[in-house]
Structure 1
Amino acid sequence: MDLTLNEVLKAVDGELIVRNNDGNFEKISTDTRKIEESSLFIALKGNNFNGNNYAVKAIKIGATVAIIDEINFKIEELNNEGTIIKVNDTKTALGALAKYYREKLGIKVVGITGSTGKTSTKDLVAAFLSGKYSVFKTKGNFNNEIGLPLMIFELNSSYDIAVLEMGTSNFNEIHRLANIARPDMGIITNIGVSHIEYLKTRENILKEKLSITDFFEKDNVLIINCENDMLQKVEKNTDFKVEKTGYDKKYDLYAENIELTDESTSFDAVNSNGSSYRFKLNMVGEHNIQNALLGIRIAENFGLTFEEMELGLKNLEATSMRLEFIKKDNCTIINDCYNASPDSMKSALNVLETYSGNRKIAILGDMGELGDFSKLAHKNVGRDAIGKVDMLLTLGEFKKDYQSGFGDNTFVFESKDELQKYLKKTIKNGDVILVKASRSAKFEDIVKYIESL
């Protein structure tokens, strides 16, 4: 990496307590299980681990530098190897070093936040921009105060633009992420009820998401999806640019002539100049039109033509387990196990409803971090499934709340094993089966079981 030891010391406000080498390193790691030769190891602490206890091990297996906030070893244990920097807090140091490195690289950054749709939007933004630029995008769900810095450390001067996802579960997290990443442009996909257990109200969630603009100046741009009721209330201001997307012709970019099929989504994108272009996404669901409009508007701000965006779409790489269609001889599985919220459940059920097949079966598990809203949210999803689903199979803490919303043809199970045994004798030719729950439920196990039948 293009960082010197002196730059690291300056960035993290650290004290050099041991120096046994020149301090050069090629990568940054927070996990000794994945450490590589010539790495800088940052010793993070959690509820059940303390990375400071592994500083000596990190040096012995290849790290040249370690940043710690506790000295839990004797200097002689290093055997005259490695360089050790002490800081007040290693998590803070991780973010500070990432911020310094991002500023040194000087590449453009697009930050994406929202209650749902962040990852799909990230995939689309990166694809559109790739029609003209070299683009990096967040891998998986590395979107928190540890994951975001680690993504920044994967950047180098070969990239023109970084598309970085920013997640939150509590107050001020987006502010801290924005301080690290300093996005040139921001996107808010929507405001739902994800993490309402901690943020309490949708108004608080909106305020938290808007923190992505905390370091914006007049030339910075925020792009919002105004098909969301809360984002419709965001007004344009003089501090930075606000651009709106959706279906209304008054927006900066809008979609019309929408066509939804089992395998694709097509629409005309029309900008404020009256220019239009028909896009076809190999993604299903109307929600992806809203995600795509955000990406198209970002690309317009970077000077891409519609034709260049179309070229970039050929590079679209969607994150796995998000509306992934698995076609078997006897049935089709819609694997949407990456995460779940009331909004994403509704979108997935809409896709299931419009997909061609015989019986429509939904296998739904718990949605997390909804707090006091949990029981009602699960009941409402059950209600929303009425008319879209022939059979509802539920598992988890709130399985009976789904049942109270959906009513007849709800089948409640106590375990995955019990549910899978039922599936084995129930699945018929032509069934379309949606599998969805929060990530912690690991419903991909159910997907794999259906695939094996």
Structure 2
Amino acid sequence: MKIQNIYKLYTTSSGIEINSKKVKKGSIFIALKGKNFDGNQFADEAISNGAILAIVDNKKFASYKKRIVFVCNTLYFLHELATYHRYQLHHIPIIAITGSNGKTTTKELITSILSKKYQKVHCTKNNFNNHIGIPLTILSMPMNTQISIMEIGANHEKEIEKMCNIINPDYGYITNFGKAHLEGFKSIEGIIRSKLELYDFLKKNKKIVFINGDDPIQLSNSIGMNRYIFSGEEKIKSNINVKYLYVKNNLKSSLYIKNIKIISSLIGNYNLYNIASAVTIGIYFKVSLEKIKKAVEEYVPNNYRSQILKKNNVKIIIDCYNANPTSMIKALTFFNHIKGYKIVILGDMLELGFFSNYEHEKIISFLKKSSINIAFLIGDIFFNTKETSDKIKKFINKKNFVKCMKKYSIRNTDYILIKGSRKIALESLICLI
């Protein structure tokens, strides 16, 4: 079957599914392969569960009688189908967001703001920002979408370039360039080159880029592009001037734009640029500042990103959806300036490769010099570091930490910061505090 024929069938289907157990009646099942599974084996099950078509890349499982169609590569087919769908909806503006930290928070803030003007706003759901999630997100975009915000994640070079060719964004923004996925990028230079693939696409296609003028990497690499700049520096020639409010011991992030004060529920001054970029994009799309202010102040973070919870008179800052050296240091620097008795519970930072031990040692060096009273470090990387001190307690896993929790008066404190990589899942410890 040609892509046009399958696409025509897709437009009357109930959507695309890659999990045979979640197949909806009338959907199309695409059999993807992974390290520990082969979706081809579940094509029959998908048809039995109500799929009108199954796409496989193993001829052994193909059967035209059962509506199971063979293609050379199912992942490539998924990309091709998403690209074709985007071509049909080329009139819908898409904003692409990438960067090392803050992508999801920025995307959600932009979505909240633009929803004050547009009734049909489409965006990346959950963490669907990789080579599988992005085409699925494109294919979930309804025909009546007015604007879309898409998040691009990457752990190696050329991935953002490839995703841009599927998304075909009209606008783009890079949150920052931090030490994330060093195992795949090999160096900070590799990270920068990777993120700038978004600029390369936008420049080549004469599209618009939003720029944080306080970031010299963004500023210097966007020269000659069609750009819209926000900045907190008066010396920077910008479209939007921002005044950031850094107030010690204030957990909420605040800023002024055009003399209007915006107070966000997001924790930490490290979120100020995320807020400012979303506000800037809202202004560009002619959302009134009053509505922008309302959208930002109504936004409540979830998914363990910059959340605050009060329990047993302890304020718990939950920022454990993910962690890398850049985001960890930013969170700890902010936490260090808060007054009171403070405890941190930190989990390993993963996917750092050769740099792993060095970056974990740097975190411990920071903790030793900080005003943080006790640091609980969880995971075999932290556990095997050499740096230590009386206030640093290391545990090889969460199970060992839980066993020893009773020895320490965690509840007799003012603030607790919980942060670590997603696989560590430190949120499971909240109920024990």
Same fold (TM over 0.5): yes
Stretch deviating more after TM superposition (52-61 or 129-138): 129-138
The counterpart of 2:342, out of the listed 331, 336, 360, is: 360
The counterpart of 2:282, out of the listed 285, 299, 309, is: 299
1:94 positional shift: 0.8
Inter-CA distance 168–59: structure 2 relative to 1 (3 Å threshold): same
1:188 positional shift: 0.3
Cα distance in 2 for partners of 1:33, 1:194 equals: 33
Partner in structure 2 of residue 268 of structure 1: 256
Letter in 2 for 1:304: V
Q: How does 1:176-325 map to 2 (within 5 A)?
A: 176-216=162-202, 219-228=206-215, 230-237=217-224, 240-249=225-234, 250-252=236-238, 253-256=240-243, 258-260=245-247, 262-269=250-257, 275-313=258-296, 316-325=299-308
1:302 positional shift: 1.6
Q: How far does the alpha carbon of each residue in 1:66-85 deviate from its partner, in whole angstroms, 9 at most, with x for none?
A: 1121122373xx8x44x333
Q: How does 1:34-113 map to 2 (within 5 A)?
A: 34-73=22-61, 75=63, 80-81=65-66, 83-105=67-89, 106-113=91-98
Aligned to 1:299, the other structure's residue is in SS state: helix
1:149 positional shift: 1.4
Partner in structure 2 of residue 17 of structure 1: none
Partner in structure 2 of residue 129 of structure 1: 114
1:110 positional shift: 0.8
Letter in 2 for 1:412: K
Cα distance in 2 for partners of 1:289, 1:23 equals: 41
Q: How does 1:382-421 map to 2 (within 5 A)?
A: 382-385=364-367, 386-400=369-383, 404=387, 407-421=389-403
Cα distance in 1 for partners of 2:83, 2:291 equals: 31
Residue 378 (str. 1) matches residue 360 (str. 2): yes
Inter-CA distance 8–47: structure 2 relative to 1 (3 Å threshold): farther
Inter-CA distance 8–25: structure 2 relative to 1 (3 Å threshold): farther
| Contact 1:127–1:317 (CA under 8 A) maintained in structure 2 | no
Cα distance in 2 for partners of 1:53, 1:377 equals: 42
1:170 positional shift: 0.8
The counterpart of 1:326, out of the listed 304, 309, 317, is: 309
Poorly superposed stretches of 4+, deviation over 6 Å: none
Residue 171 (str. 1) matches residue 154 (str. 2): no
Aligned to 2:76, the other structure's residue is in SS state: helix
| Contact 1:112–1:189 (CA under 8 A) maintained in structure 2 | yes
Letter in 2 for 1:169: N
CA RMSD after TM alignment: 2.5
1:118 positional shift: 0.7
Inter-CA distance 300–6: structure 2 relative to 1 (3 Å threshold): farther
Aligned to 2:176, the other structure's residue is in SS state: coil
Cα distance in 1 for partners of 2:342, 2:303 equals: 22
Inter-CA distance 22–119: structure 2 relative to 1 (3 Å threshold): closer
Letter in 2 for 1:221: I
Letter in 2 for 1:165: E
| Contact 2:345–2:419 (CA under 8 A) maintained in structure 1 | yes
Letter in 1 for 2:424: A
Inter-CA distance 55–352: structure 2 relative to 1 (3 Å threshold): same
Letter in 2 for 1:43: A
Cα distance in 2 for partners of 1:388, 1:23 equals: 58
Letter in 1 for 2:100: S
Aligned to 1:194, the other structure's residue is in SS state: coil
| Percentage of identical aligned residues | 32
Cα distance in 1 for partners of 2:180, 2:43 equals: 37
Letter in 2 for 1:44: L
Aligned to 1:283, the other structure's residue is in SS state: strand
Stretch deviating more after TM superposition (96-105 or 222-231): 222-231
| Contact 1:52–1:71 (CA under 8 A) maintained in structure 2 | no
Cα distance in 1 for partners of 2:92, 2:371 equals: 45
Stretch deviating more after TM superposition (89-98 or 429-438): 429-438
Stretch deviating more after TM superposition (283-292 or 311-320): 311-320
| Contact 1:68–1:84 (CA under 8 A) maintained in structure 2 | yes
Q: How far does the alpha carbon of each residue in 1:141-200 deviate from its partner, in whole angstroms, 9 at most, with x for none?
A: 110010111122222134311111100001211011111111111110111111122212
Q: How does 1:152-167 map to 2 (within 5 A)?
A: 152-167=138-153
Cα distance in 2 for partners of 1:177, 1:22 equals: 21
| Contact 1:245–1:290 (CA under 8 A) maintained in structure 2 | no
Cα distance in 2 for partners of 1:414, 1:348 equals: 23
| Contact 1:195–1:370 (CA under 8 A) maintained in structure 2 | yes
How many positions carry a matched residue from both structures?
Answer: 425
1:300 positional shift: 2.4
Aligned to 1:212, the other structure's residue is in SS state: helix
| Contact 1:299–1:309 (CA under 8 A) maintained in structure 2 | yes
Inter-CA distance 302–74: structure 2 relative to 1 (3 Å threshold): closer
1:297 positional shift: 2.0
| Contact 1:268–1:277 (CA under 8 A) maintained in structure 2 | yes
Inter-CA distance 92–434: structure 2 relative to 1 (3 Å threshold): same
Inter-CA distance 218–334: structure 2 relative to 1 (3 Å threshold): same
Q: Please, which runs of 5 or more residues in structure 1 have no aligned partner?
A: 13-20, 270-274
